[in-house]
Amino acid sequence: MQTLDHWRQDFPILKQQVNDEPLVYLDNAATTQKPQQVLDVIEAYYQQDNANVHRGVHTLAERATKSYETAREKVQQFIQAKSTKEILFTRGTTTSLNWVAKSYGDLAVEKGDEIVISYAEHHSNIVPWQQLAKRKGAKLVYIELTDDGYLDLEDAKAKITDQTKIVSLAHVSNVLGGINPIKTLTELAHQHGAVMVVDGAQSTPHMPVNVTELDVDFYAFSGHKMCGPTGIGVLYGKQALLEKMEPVEFGGEMIDFVYPQESTWSELPWKFEAGTPNIAGGIGLGAAIDYLTAIGMDTIHQYEQELVAYVLPKLEAIEGVTIYGPKDPKDHTGVIAFNIEGLHPHDVATALDMEGVAVRAGHHCAQPLLQYLKVPATARASFYFYNTKEDADRLVDAILATKEFFQNGLI
Ligand code: PMP
Give the mean pLDDT of 143-156: 95
pLDDT digit string, tens, across residues 167-186: 999 999 999 999 999 999 99
Nearest ligand 1 atom to the CA of 124 is 10
For 63-84, letters b (16+ CB in 10 Å) and e give bbbebbeebbebbbebbebeeb
Please report how many Cα atoms fall inside a 13 Å half-sphere around the Cα of residue 10, on the Cβ side.
20
pLDDT band at 105 (very low <50, low <70, confident <90, very high): very high
| Percentage, residues of the chain above pLDDT 90 | 92
Question: Which residue among 365, 380, 382 is best mutated to probe the pocket of ligand 1, counting the most ligand atoms within 8 A of its Cβ?
Answer: 365
The structural domains of the chain, ordered by start, are 5-26+296-408 (3.90.1150.10), 39-294 (3.40.640.10)
Q: How far, in Å, CA of 368 to CA of 356, rounded?
A: 31
The protein residue whose alpha carbon is closest to atom 6 in ligand 1 is 201
Question: Which residue among 202, 221, 234, 367 is best mutated to probe the pocket of ligand 1, counting the most ligand atoms within 8 A of its Cβ?
Answer: 202
Element spanning 220, H or E: strand 218-222
What pLDDT does 411 receive? 44
Nearest ligand 1 atom to the CA of 170 is 3
Distance 222 CA to ligand 1 centre (A): 7
pLDDT band at 90 (very low <50, low <70, confident <90, very high): very high
124 or 407, higher pLDDT: 124
Number of Cβ atoms within 10 Å of the Cβ of 109: 21
Distance 124 CA to ligand 1 centre (A): 7
Average per-residue pLDDT for the chain: 96
Is residue 183 within 8 Å of residue 155, measured between CB atoms?
Answer: no
Instruction: Say if residue 237's pLDDT is above 90.
Output: yes
DSSP structural state of residue 375: -
Instruction: Say if residue 61's pLDDT is above 50.
Output: yes
Instruction: Say if residue 109's pLDDT is above 70.
Output: yes
Give the mean pLDDT of 100-110: 98
What pLDDT does 332 receive? 85
Is 227 annotated in the active site? no
Distance 409 CA to ligand 1 centre (A): 37
Q: What is the ipTM of this complex?
A: 0.99
Question: Which residue among 122, 151, 335 is best mutated to probe the pocket of ligand 1, counting the most ligand atoms within 8 A of its Cβ?
Answer: 122
Please report how many Cα atoms fall inside a 13 Å half-sphere around the Cα of residue 339, on the Cβ side.
19
What pLDDT does 5 receive? 81
Distance 225 CA to ligand 1 centre (A): 8
Give the mean pLDDT of 259-280: 97
Does 269 sit behind a cis peptide bond, omega within 30 degrees of 0 on the bond before it? yes
Closest by CA position to 397, among listed 355, 359, 361? 355
Q: What's the sign of the alpha-carbon dihedral 320, 325, 327, 329?
A: negative
Selecting among 42, 365, 375, 401, the annotated active-site residue is 365
Give the mean pLDDT of 27-38: 98
pLDDT digit string, tens, across residues 319-369: 999 999 998 888 889 999 999 999 999 999 999 999 999 999 999 999 999
End-to-end CA distance of the chain: 31
pLDDT digit string, tens, across residues 273-313: 999 999 999 999 999 999 999 999 999 999 999 999 999 99
Is residue 402 within 8 Å of residue 321, measured between CB atoms?
Answer: no
Question: Which residue among 124, 209, 232, 367 is best mutated to probe the pocket of ligand 1, counting the most ligand atoms within 8 A of its Cβ?
Answer: 124
Give the mean pLDDT of 44-60: 94
Give residue ranges with CB within 6 A of ligand 1: 29, 92-94, 122, 124-125, 170, 174, 199, 201-202, 222, 365
pLDDT band at 410 (very low <50, low <70, confident <90, very high): very low
The protein residue whose alpha carbon is closest to atom 4 in ligand 1 is 201
Give the mean pLDDT of 362-382: 93
Distance 384 CA to ligand 1 centre (A): 16
Instruction: Say if residue 17's pLDDT is above 70.
Output: yes
Instruction: Say if residue 247's pLDDT is above 50.
Output: yes
Distance 259 CA to ligand 1 centre (A): 38
| Percentage, residues of the chain above pLDDT 70 | 99
Residue 233 has phi, psi (to 5 degrees) of: -155, -175
What pLDDT does 331 receive? 86
The protein residue whose alpha carbon is closest to atom 14 in ligand 1 is 94
Is residue 374 within 8 Å of residue 346, measured between CB atoms?
Answer: no
244 or 373, higher pLDDT: 244
The protein residue whose alpha carbon is closest to atom 5 in ligand 1 is 174
The protein residue whose alpha carbon is closest to atom 12 in ligand 1 is 93
What pLDDT does 118 receive? 97
Instruction: Say if residue 47's pLDDT is above 60.
Output: yes
Q: How far, in Å, CA of 228 to CA of 183, rounded?
A: 27
Closest by CA position to 385, among listed 333, 316, 350, 342? 333
pLDDT digit string, tens, across residues 131-141: 999 999 999 99
Nearest ligand 1 atom to the CA of 230 is 15
The neighbouring-strand residues paired with 321 are 340
Give the mean pLDDT of 198-213: 98
What pLDDT does 409 receive? 60
Nearest ligand 1 atom to the CA of 199 is 1
Distance 330 CA to ligand 1 centre (A): 23
Distance 110 CA to ligand 1 centre (A): 27
Side by side, the strands of the sheet bearing 195-199 are 87-90, 233-237, 218-222, 195-199, 164-170, 114-118, 139-143
